[in-house]
A = this chain, B = another copy of it.
Amino acid sequence: MDINEYLSTKKKIIDTALDYYLPKAHEYPRVIHEAMRYGVFSGGKRIRAILLLAAGEAVGGKEKELLQPASAIELIHAYSLIHDDLPAIDDDDFRRGKPSCHKKFNEAMAILAGDALLTYAFYLLSKIKYPPELTIKVFEEISYAVGTFGMIGGQVVDIESEDKELDVPTLEYIHTHKTGALICAAVKAGCILGGGTLQQTHSLNQYGAHIGLAFQIVDDLLDMEEGKKGKKRKSDLVKKKLTYPAVYGIESSKKQVQMLIEEALSAIKDFNHKAEPLRQIANFIGERGY
């Protein structure tokens, strides 16, 4: 399989699903639906949604049924970016080269659009067509993963650690929570809904944890490259952020990425050929920074 083709095909399918599931822009009250859609459709690789699909399909689930929970995961990601960019948090005027939500609309609407995307993600999850016990399990996994013991926790510690001395456990906490928790939740949700066993869910959790951390280290490496080219974002320029390359150096960080990818692959070594996309995605993440 060609991983680039796979990712671009899946991205299109997910974008179509997101457009289908989100309230239309003309629905009343119009401005909030426009702001939600602006936040969701301002780019992005849809990697979290793709991971949910790939994990679900790896254990025998059907793409068509997995698209709704995959969309919910992507809405949660979009909400987190909108709130991260707010003046009170990262204060970033641009995201992926476009004005961030609060610049395009205003701060009030960006706060509410984030709130609305999080809320709508849970609404979408309540309407998925799966056995109720599985749906509830997924609710629990996701709401835990994006709360204060997961994504929000990572964000809080990230904010608190700005301009402080480097500290390895804190750096690991931030990376595994701020980015890792939602990635883990996505693969676990896919596995649960796809009909995976407890053992498979456990293996995919390991897979998710490793690629999640690798993904973030690669992001740090890419940011460093961009920084050299003078392309840093405002929040990266103003704030001294804790990063892997800053703590471990570039070479050691790259080695760590490779190790994490190997561990991710090892976690799913007993899966059959249906897990091929998961393997390719792991490799893709590992090679993204080079």
Contact = CB atoms under 8 A, between A and B. Distances in A.
A28 B106 CA distance: 32
Contacts of A153: 28-29, 32
A116 B83 contact: no
A111 B108 contact: no
A115 B112 contact: no
A127 B106 CA distance: 36
A1 interface: no
Given A23-B148, A106-B88, A83 B115 contact: yes
Which residue, of A32, A106, A160, has the highest number of chain B Cβ atoms within 10 A? A32
Interface string A113-143: 0111011101101110001110110011001
Contact of A148 (B106, B120, B139, B152): B120
Nearest to A159: B108
Interface string A161-177: 00000000000000000
Given A125-B139, A139-B139, A112 B156 contact: yes
B122 A139 contact: yes
A219 interface: no
A148 B32 contact: yes
A123 to B, nearest CB: 4
Interface in A80-123: 83, 86, 88-89, 106-109, 111-112, 114-116, 118-120, 122-123
Contact of A33 (B86, B106, B135, B148): B148
B119 A126 contact: no
A111 B88 contact: yes
Contact of A123 (B119, B123, B140): B140
A156 B32 contact: yes
A36 interface: yes
A116 B152 contact: yes
A196 to B, nearest CB: 19
A140 B127 contact: yes
